[in-house]
Structure 1
């Protein structure tokens, strides 16, 4: 015959207390919000880190684009005497970028009549690479952005109209006293016309 003490011992070392504890542990939701908040915080921090990497890359890309735009405008000028490639590389280097990564393609077009330079164009292509700080944890160690630009200057048709003063006062002596003002004016007009034809294609110049 079992005694009350024997029954109490069975309840103490049996399965029912263990089952009750397991059910209590499963139904206990304390601390679950803390774990969720921790993972949410880590996700927000990682997204913010990705944004920092992308903003840094965009800043470098814009800086390179500004340097290239300034360089090609200077290099494509028809009055520019410096080498286009050297000039562009100097602009890029002064902006703090690697000039060796820049590909410069200059092109000069001369008039068929041999009157001189008709047009000049300069094209630049490069890639800006930025090392990442946060995205490297995902295996993305760098971000690359292509940067390009081109500029062209050309000499189009030129039409010039000269309006000369032939009033009576032009018969007075000029400043050098060896010619009248009208004679000096004619010499200046002829010199101007010669200069225009020398620097442009005569077939593209009209003087009235």
Structure 2
């Protein structure tokens, strides 16, 4: 599954620090990166493993974020939203990067100000998780099931949304063709079915 050429680039945004409490963010990002890349569908930017740069660290990861196809934001409600993450969210909003938001309530179940902002009807649906372990368990499935399907619609230019169910088989067949495999051609429901079959059916072969 590592042979796919057109992988989605993922950026994981979270607090970065050197104290003992902040180590959980690094561990969560590292674990999520490994699991996501094991699918063969994603490349994940990691601040910790990035090489040296002639620019500043801020410029480096901001450029990586702008170039990403999708972002994952991990917040511990107890720690709140640090300034670095706020700046990344500003970039996310400016460039309309599809994003999954996770809020951990293990140490504090009071919603953050960011949660309250996202609760408006036009905001993205976010997930409240009981622990960082649950983030590691869920983020890959959530990304495959939701972002890979909705991303194609959000970034498409002139997709027709009224394709009938009768055309389902035809469109799914076209999705398998490299000549048709373009962002503006992929539909939400078809993209979800395609990737779910691609990932999960292959794993079930021979069971």
- TM-score bucket of the superposed structures, by smaller chain: under 0.3
Q: Where is the strand percentage greater, Structure 1 or Structure 2?
A: 1
Which structure's CA Rg is the greater one? Answer: 1
Q: TM-score, length-normalised on structure 1?
A: 0.22
Higher helix share: 1
Return the TM-score normalized by structure 2.
0.22
